[in-house]
């Protein structure tokens, strides 16, 4: 920077610098991945290190460094002494550097076990994530974890920085192998823009300038990329939104509403609606210290006046009258628990959403997400760093946007009413339909009443096992027996539901989970209707089956493990699927290239190698009698 | 697309409005320096056409540059804001000064203790400060809203996660929050903004011939007759300016000919020493900022 300005007109240079853009990004990785070296390198190369800092760095490098007599750039960012680090429970370090084209704000998050809340905090304001991997180790569990967390927070633009290329001889095959593996995993997380950059932070290869040690790499160096990338933003038109922070009344003649434009644009003459009241008005002026504006855009902090005397106060949202924000009081939310005191379902917390502060409570989690493998786990509460899907119920209806559409009106804080601590952060997925003015209808005819009429208790009989294990055969036989006994039954068959209810789903892990979730919900409804529901579904993951179990009463779920060894099932292969899978024509086939997790404590364990199908059905029937589903 | 300066400006205004809305007795700590000056400018923008709904608080040590006092009174009057000046009566009575007591004691009693007294006296529950995260390594992790106990202590365990543009400024009785709207600004951003907005700053930031003496390798300006001179020591007239301003006996000047804001920025782009080097208080101990923060200093 200095060398360049010497010869140029400083005024011109500064004018140009005033118009620079700003990019906020997050770096994820551990010290072992060379993250500190990478950030240190960026700061160093952008000449943000002053002489006195450099002198300190040289002496620190000799004392604590790992690079012999050379400068250890990592010490620029993690040189804090141990006692300083102590007790800092949430430590996202923010760092700043700029080039002639852009200013950068880096949220630098550590990769150690406190990672979740730090990373979630850092990612909340970032538009791009730089995820580091060590070229020697490739994609690790933590890489997947970091990627999941940044996408959970809405980042859709990801750089995979394949660091330490010097330690793998700058080998193209290695970089490609890692990139492929990563892209295969990341494709499960939805639409992402992924750029893989092989580099060496220690030697500076492909960090600031392209390295001639990797002539095979045709993409940009990291800094070049960061200077030019346009982060992927929510698609579609963005209607105007402005949460009102304060009402300005300097004198009787002026009433202005101040707040940030968090989405869209606004101009005098625009029709707006005040939410939640629903009153409409028209923007009269956009007033600023520097004069009135003809238009304002997302990112600006403004003050507007309206043409009518409508009631507006802090907490309200001004929104486009043609595309207003929705108003609701119950939501399905992603929740990240950030406190050491655990979440208490049903307890009253304060929810801060936009400029609104509303009392609300959180349901028992629908499920918790294992961030290492995205498994869904049953949970009754949440502890520090847990991530879960829950229902949020507010004491009154509030205007909102879905988080995927608008972070600023879809992200919220959960505040403990006694300590005032921020204990969690959450993201609105969707409003629950019953909240739009539909109260939960208390029904007169209860499940028990229906059961009395039917003469048996309702129940889900869940058959799980490999493809070709005999689930459908046994389930069919059982249904015939139950029907003959006068029971009200229904059979939900995995293949059949894919023709109708779930015809939009494929066989990726995400789709399989959704497939099972829908079947489980339908089964629960049918139990409520008083039926004995037979579900025949491979349902390979334990967590999904546990989820299905959690939807009904403990006595109403009967897990049947149809246990046929893989070799036997494959030799039967009634639908020819194993043969196809072996030929590579059926990816993600359970037992071949996708895992089957057998039940640990099934209600019925059918070892099919020693049981005829009729005997198996009889065993299940017996169990239903023992469990009181059928009168004995 | 907004430029980086306009984005920083909008973010700071949003923070200022939010902090005021969530507090009952807000105040802006005003130190007359360039960061305070930018902060005051942003506060005026945040509430325009109304006046910022809080007073300025200057925790005075009686040892600031004469020009700073004049500038302070003018700035408050121009903004139409009330100015509270607090001088620690205990420090006044004991005549605490940097020469007899050393920079560390001087700063602690006048500034740290003085600030606590003022916050207690006026029941302040939220105080704006002009600190930036880029000033010092230990500040990189500081929150925008920093919670302080009733004893004004900074407890690392009580600091709250900050996501999106959402800040939690809630306090229990006696507790307070320090809010730093300039957290994401760098020194260069501050100067560029001063240039872009043509904000007047104390002229001590610009080079001019000033009488100085050399102390411990630093150039100290002889601002009044309270600076003890060694036998035979004569102030020399040098073209100097200040990169940071505080108590004049503790503020080191740099030799410079940069007499305009543009010159200052050009010099800064070429300079090779960091801003805080000119502050004597930071040299006492390497972890001194961290300790001062815990004690209640900014």
Mutation to test the B interface, candidates A289, A314, A339, A384, most B Cβ within 10 Å: A289
Residue A153, token pair as written in the block: 């927070």
Do A117 and A153 touch, CB atoms closer than 8 A?
no
B265·A21 Cβ contact <8 A? no
CA gap A250, A248 in Å, rounded: 6
Work out the minimum CA distance from A555 to partner chain B, whole angstroms: 42
pLDDT in tens, A300-344: 999 999 999 898 999 999 999 999 999 999 999 999 999 988 998
User: What is the reported pLDDT for A289?
Assistant: 94
User: What is the reported pLDDT for A113?
Assistant: 58
Mutation to test the A interface, candidates B161, B180, B261, most A Cβ within 10 Å: B161
Do B101 and B90 touch, CB atoms closer than 8 A?
no
User: What is the reported pLDDT for A2?
Assistant: 44
Mutation to test the A interface, candidates B149, B160, B164, most A Cβ within 10 Å: B164
User: What is the reported pLDDT for B118?
Assistant: 93
Binding-face residues of B in 104-143 toward A, CB within 8 A? 133-134, 137-138, 140-141
> How confident is the model over A342-361, as a mean pLDDT?
91
Do A304 and A242 touch, CB atoms closer than 8 A?
yes
Q: Is A195 helix (H, G, I), strand (E, B) or coil?
A: strand
B159·A90 Cβ contact <8 A? yes
Do B14 and B165 touch, CB atoms closer than 8 A?
yes
User: What is the reported pLDDT for A434?
Assistant: 52
User: What is the reported pLDDT for B277?
Assistant: 47
User: What is the reported pLDDT for B208?
Assistant: 95
pLDDT in tens, A183-204: 988 888 888 999 999 999 988 8
B14·A299 Cβ contact <8 A? no
The answer, yes or no, to whether residue A499 has pLDDT greater than 70, is: yes
Helix (H) or strand (E) holding A279: strand A279-287
CA-nearest of B240, B239, B251, B241 to B202 is B241
CA gap A131, B286 in Å, rounded: 32
Residue A23, token pair as written in the block: 């990019």
Which residues in chain A touch residue B192, judged by CB atoms under 8 angstroms apart?
14, 17-18
| Burial degree of A290 (CB within 10 A; 0-12, 13-18, 19+) | exposed
**pLDDT band per the 50, 70, 90 thresholds, residue A57:** low
User: What is the reported pLDDT for A74?
Assistant: 66
Q: Kindly report each contact of residues A517-521 with a partner whose C-beta sits within 8 Å and lies 24 or more positions away, as own/partner.
A: A517/A544, A517/A547, A519/A492, A519/A494, A519/A548, A520/A544, A520/A547, A520/A548, A520/A551, A521/A551
pLDDT in tens, A271-287: 999 999 899 999 999 99
Which residues in chain B touch residue A51, judged by CB atoms under 8 angstroms apart?
272-273
Q: Which residue do the tokens 């809203």 mark?
A: B145
A95·B140 Cβ contact <8 A? yes
User: What is the reported pLDDT for B135?
Assistant: 83
Helix (H) or strand (E) holding B129: none
* Residue A258 or A66, more confident: A258
Do A207 and A220 touch, CB atoms closer than 8 A?
no
- Cβ density class A159-169: b for 16+ within 10 Å, e for less: bbbbbbbbebe
Q: Does the active-site annotation cover A571?
A: no
User: What is the reported pLDDT for A91?
Assistant: 76
**Top mean-pLDDT range of A73-77, A229-233, A401-405, B294-298:** A401-405
Which residues in chain B touch residue A403, judged by CB atoms under 8 angstroms apart?
none
pLDDT in tens, A215-231: 999 999 999 999 999 88
- Cβ density class A606-615: b for 16+ within 10 Å, e for less: bebeebebee
Residue B160, token pair as written in the block: 């709250």
Which residues in chain B touch residue A86, judged by CB atoms under 8 angstroms apart?
156
In chain B, which residue ranges form alpha helices assigned H by DSSP?
Answer: 4-21, 34-47, 66-79, 89-94, 98-107, 114-121, 187-197, 261-270, 288-295
Do A160 and A180 touch, CB atoms closer than 8 A?
no
User: What is the reported pLDDT for A438?
Assistant: 36
CA gap A85, A87 in Å, rounded: 6
The answer, yes or no, to whether residue A6 has pLDDT greater than 90, is: no
Work out the minimum CA distance from B110 to partner chain A, whole angstroms: 26
User: What is the reported pLDDT for A71?
Assistant: 66
A120·B51 Cβ contact <8 A? no
CA-nearest of A70, A209, A134, A116 to A425 is A116
Q: Is A171 helix (H, G, I), strand (E, B) or coil?
A: coil
Residue A333, token pair as written in the block: 């939310």
User: What is the reported pLDDT for A450?
Assistant: 81
The answer, yes or no, to whether residue B276 has pLDDT greater than 50, is: no
Q: Is A98 helix (H, G, I), strand (E, B) or coil?
A: strand
A20·B2 Cβ contact <8 A? no
Is the Cβ of B3 closer than 8 Å to some Cβ of chain A? yes
User: What is the reported pLDDT for A53?
Assistant: 63
Q: How far is CA B263 from CA A525, B71, B189, B205, in A?
A: 75, 22, 15, 11
Query: Cα–Cα–Cα angle for A124, A129, A134, nearest 5°?
Result: 135
Do B28 and B57 touch, CB atoms closer than 8 A?
yes
In A77-205, which residue ranges form alpha helices assigned H by DSSP?
Answer: 82-85, 115-124, 141-152, 172-186
Q: Given B49, B265, B290, which is nearest A14 (Cβ)?
A: B265
A352·B168 Cβ contact <8 A? yes
The answer, yes or no, to whether residue B60 has pLDDT greater than 60, is: yes
Instruction: Give the whole-number percent of chain A exceeding pLDDT 90.
Output: 53
Q: Given A96, A254, A300, which is nearest B10 (Cβ)?
A: A300
Q: Given A84, A92, A301, which is nearest B287 (Cβ)?
A: A84
Number of helices followed by number of strands (H, E) in chain A: 18, 28
Pairing of strands A102-109, A21-28: parallel
* CA-based nearest residue in chain A for residue B50: A250
A289·B45 Cβ contact <8 A? yes
A80·B138 Cβ contact <8 A? yes
A5·B266 Cβ contact <8 A? yes
pLDDT in tens, A553-597: 888 999 999 999 999 999 988 888 999 999 888 888 898 888 898
CA gap A317, A306 in Å, rounded: 13
CA-nearest of A306, A185, A305, A338 to B49 is A305
Binding-face residues of B in 148-207 toward A, CB within 8 A? 156-166, 168, 170-172, 183-184, 186, 188-189, 192, 195-196
**pLDDT band per the 50, 70, 90 thresholds, residue A393:** very high
User: What is the reported pLDDT for A408?
Assistant: 94
User: What is the reported pLDDT for A48?
Assistant: 57
Q: What 8-state DSSP symbol labels residue B216? A: T
Do A94 and A124 touch, CB atoms closer than 8 A?
no
A88·B156 Cβ contact <8 A? yes
The answer, yes or no, to whether residue B77 has pLDDT greater than 70, is: yes
User: What is the reported pLDDT for B94?
Assistant: 92
Tell me how many residue pairs between chain A and chain B have CB atoms under 8 A apart.
181
Q: Is A84 helix (H, G, I), strand (E, B) or coil?
A: helix
CA gap A589, A5 in Å, rounded: 61
Q: Given B137, B141, B165, which is nearest A92 (Cβ)?
A: B141
Q: What 8-state DSSP symbol labels residue B226? A: T
The answer, yes or no, to whether residue A410 has pLDDT greater than 60, is: yes
Residue B26, token pair as written in the block: 């807000």
Mutation to test the A interface, candidates B4, B149, B181, B282, most A Cβ within 10 Å: B4
> How confident is the model over A482-507, as a mean pLDDT?
89
A245·B138 Cβ contact <8 A? no
Q: Is A140 helix (H, G, I), strand (E, B) or coil?
A: coil
Cβ-based neighbours of A402, under 8 Å, separated by 6 or more: A410, A428, A429, A430
pLDDT in tens, A588-621: 889 888 889 888 778 898 999 889 999 999 999 9
| Burial degree of A297 (CB within 10 A; 0-12, 13-18, 19+) | middle
User: What is the reported pLDDT for A507?
Assistant: 81
Is the Cβ of B6 closer than 8 Å to some Cβ of chain A? yes
Mutation to test the B interface, candidates A4, A22, A403, most B Cβ within 10 Å: A22
Q: Given A22, A53, A93, which is nearest B4 (Cβ)?
A: A22
Peptide bond into A276 cis (omega under 30): yes
B47·A258 Cβ contact <8 A? yes
Q: Given A14, A89, A412, which is nearest B192 (Cβ)?
A: A14
Residue B37, token pair as written in the block: 């000056």
CA gap A136, A178 in Å, rounded: 10
User: What is the reported pLDDT for A197?
Assistant: 96
Pairing of strands A271-275, A246-248: unpaired
Residue A559, token pair as written in the block: 């897990």
pLDDT in tens, A524-536: 999 999 999 999 9
A250·B50 Cβ contact <8 A? yes
> How confident is the model over A470-485, as a mean pLDDT?
94
Active-site position among A36, A536, A539, A543: A539
Is the Cβ of B80 closer than 8 Å to some Cβ of chain A? no
User: What is the reported pLDDT for A347?
Assistant: 85
Which of A71-80, A169-178, A202-211, B195-204 bottoms out in mean pLDDT, i.e. has the lowest?
Answer: A71-80
A262·B165 Cβ contact <8 A? yes
Instruction: Give the whole-number percent of chain B exceeding pLDDT 90.
Output: 66
Cβ-based neighbours of A572, under 8 Å, separated by 6 or more: A468
The residues facing A198 across adjacent strands are A162
* Residue A231 or A176, more confident: A176
Q: For chain A, what's the residue count?
A: 632
Q: Given B4, B10, B165, which is nearest A408 (Cβ)?
A: B165
**pLDDT band per the 50, 70, 90 thresholds, residue B295:** low
Work out the minimum CA distance from A190 to partner chain B, whole angstroms: 22
* Residue B111 or A17, more confident: B111
B270·A2 Cβ contact <8 A? yes
Which residues in chain A touch residue B166, judged by CB atoms under 8 angstroms apart?
352, 411-413
> How confident is the model over B51-75, as a mean pLDDT?
95
């Amino acid at each position: 920077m200095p060398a360049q300005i010497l010869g140029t007109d400083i005024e011109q240079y500064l004018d140009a610098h005033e118009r620079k853009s700003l990019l906020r990004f997050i770096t994820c990785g551990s010290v072992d991945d060379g993250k500190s070296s990478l950030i240190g390198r960026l700061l160093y190369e952008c000449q943000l290190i002053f002489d006195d800092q450099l002198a300190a760095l040289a002496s620190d490098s000799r004392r604590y460094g790992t690079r012999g007599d050379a400068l250890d750039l990592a010490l620029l960012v993690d040189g804090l002494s141990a006692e300083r680090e102590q007790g800092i429970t949430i430590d996202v370090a923010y760092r700043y550097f700029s080039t002639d084209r852009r200013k950068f704000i880096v949220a630098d998050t550590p990769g150690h076990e406190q990672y979740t809340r730090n990373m979630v905090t850092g990612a909340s304001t970032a538009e791009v994530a730089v995820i580091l991997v060590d070229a020697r180790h490739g994609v690790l569990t933590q890489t997947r974890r970091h990627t999941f967390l940044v996408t959970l927070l809405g980042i859709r633009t990801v750089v995979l920085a394949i660091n330490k290329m010097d330690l793998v001889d700058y080998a193209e095959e290695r970089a490609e192998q890692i990139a492929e593996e990563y892209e295969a995993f990341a494709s499960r997380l939805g639409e992402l823009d992924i750029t893989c950059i092989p580099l060496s932070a220690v030697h500076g290869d492909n960090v600031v300038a392209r390295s001639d040690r990797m002539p095979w790499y045709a993409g940009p160096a990291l800094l070049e990329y960061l200077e030019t990338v346009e982060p992927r933003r929510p698609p579609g038109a963005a209607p105007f939104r402005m949460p009102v922070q304060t009402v300005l009344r300097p004198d009787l003649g002026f009433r202005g509403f101040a707040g940030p434009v968090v989405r869209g644009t606004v101009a005098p003459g625009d029709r707006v609606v005040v939410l939640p009241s629903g009153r409409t008005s028209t923007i009269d002026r956009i007033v600023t210290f520097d004069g009135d504006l003809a238009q304002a855009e997302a990112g600006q902090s403004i003050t507007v006046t309206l043409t009518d005397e409508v009631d507006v106060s802090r907490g309200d949202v001004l929104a486009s009258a043609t595309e207003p924000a929705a108003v609701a009081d119950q939501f399905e939310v992603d929740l990240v628990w950030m406190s050491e005191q655990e979440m208490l379902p049903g307890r009253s917390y304060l929810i801060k959403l936009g400029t609104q502060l509303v009392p609300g409570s959180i349901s028992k989690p629908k499920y918790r997400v294992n961030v290492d493998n995205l498994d869904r786990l049953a949970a009754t509460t949440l502890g520090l760093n847990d991530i879960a899907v829950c229902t949020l119920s507010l004491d009154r209806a509030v205007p909102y946007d879905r988080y995927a559409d608008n972070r600023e009106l879809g992200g919220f804080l959960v505040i403990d009413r006694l300590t005032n601590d921020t204990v969690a952060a959450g993201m609105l997925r969707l409003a629950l339909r019953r909240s739009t003015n539909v109260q939960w209808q208390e029904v007169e005819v209860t499940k028990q009443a229906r059961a009395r009429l039917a003469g048996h208790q309702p129940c889900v009989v869940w058959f799980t096992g490999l493809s070709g294990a005999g689930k459908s055969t046994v389930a069919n036989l059982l249904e015939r027996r139950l029907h003959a006994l006068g029971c009200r039954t229904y059979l939900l068959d995995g293949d059949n539901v894919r023709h109708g209810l779930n015809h939009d789903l494929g066989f990726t892990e995400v789709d399989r989970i959704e497939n099972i979730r829908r079947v489980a919900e339908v089964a629960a409804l049918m139990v409520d209707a008083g039926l004995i529901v037979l579900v025949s579904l491979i349902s390979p993951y334990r967590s999904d089956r546990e989820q299905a179990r959690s939807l009904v009463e403990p006595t109403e779920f009967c897990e049947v493990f149809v246990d046929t060894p893989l070799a036997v099932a494959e030799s039967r292969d009634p639908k020819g699927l194993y043969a196809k899978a072996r030929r590579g024509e059926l990816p993600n086939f359970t037992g071949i290239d996708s895992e089957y997790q057998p039940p640990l404590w099934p209600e019925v364990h059918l070892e099919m190698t020693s049981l005829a199908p009729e005997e198996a059905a009889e065993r299940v029937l017996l169990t239903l009698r023992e469990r009181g589903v059928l009168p004995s | 697309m907004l430029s980086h300066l306009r984005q920083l400006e909008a973010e700071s205004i949003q923070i200022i409005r939010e902090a005021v809305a969530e507090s009952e007795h807000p105040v802006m700590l005003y130190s007359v320096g360039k960061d305070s000056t930018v902060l005051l400018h942003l506060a005026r923008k945040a509430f325009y056409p109304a006046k910022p709904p809080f007073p300025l608080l200057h925790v005075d040590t009686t040892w600031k540059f004469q020009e700073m006092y004049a500038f302070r009174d003018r700035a408050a009057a121009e903004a139409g804001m009330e100015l509270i000046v607090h001088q620690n009566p205990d420090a006044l009575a004991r005549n605490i000064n940097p020469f007899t007591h050393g920079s560390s004691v001087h700063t602690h009693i006048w500034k740290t203790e003085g600030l606590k007294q003022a916050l207690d006296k006026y029941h302040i529950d939220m105080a704006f400060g002009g600190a930036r995260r880029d000033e010092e390594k230990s500040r990189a992790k500081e929150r925008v809203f920093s919670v302080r106990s009733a004893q004004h202590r900074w407890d690392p365990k009580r600091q709250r996660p900050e996501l999106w543009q959402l800040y939690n400024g809630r306090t229990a009785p006696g507790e307070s929050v320090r809010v730093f709207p300039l957290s994401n600004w760098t020194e260069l951003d501050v100067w560029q903004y001063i240039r872009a907005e043509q904000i007047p700053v104390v002229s001590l930031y610009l080079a001019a011939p000033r009488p100085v003496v050399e102390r411990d390798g630093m150039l100290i300006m002889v601002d009044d007759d309270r600076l003890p001179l060694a036998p035979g020591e004569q102030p020399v007239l040098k073209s100097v300016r200040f990169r940071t301003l505080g108590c004049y006996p503790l503020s080191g000047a740099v030799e410079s000919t940069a007499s305009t804001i543009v010159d200052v920025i050009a010099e800064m782009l070429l300079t090779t020493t960091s801003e805080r080097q000119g502050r004597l208080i930071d040299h006492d101990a390497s972890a001194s900022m961290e300790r001062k923060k815990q004690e209640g200093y900014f």
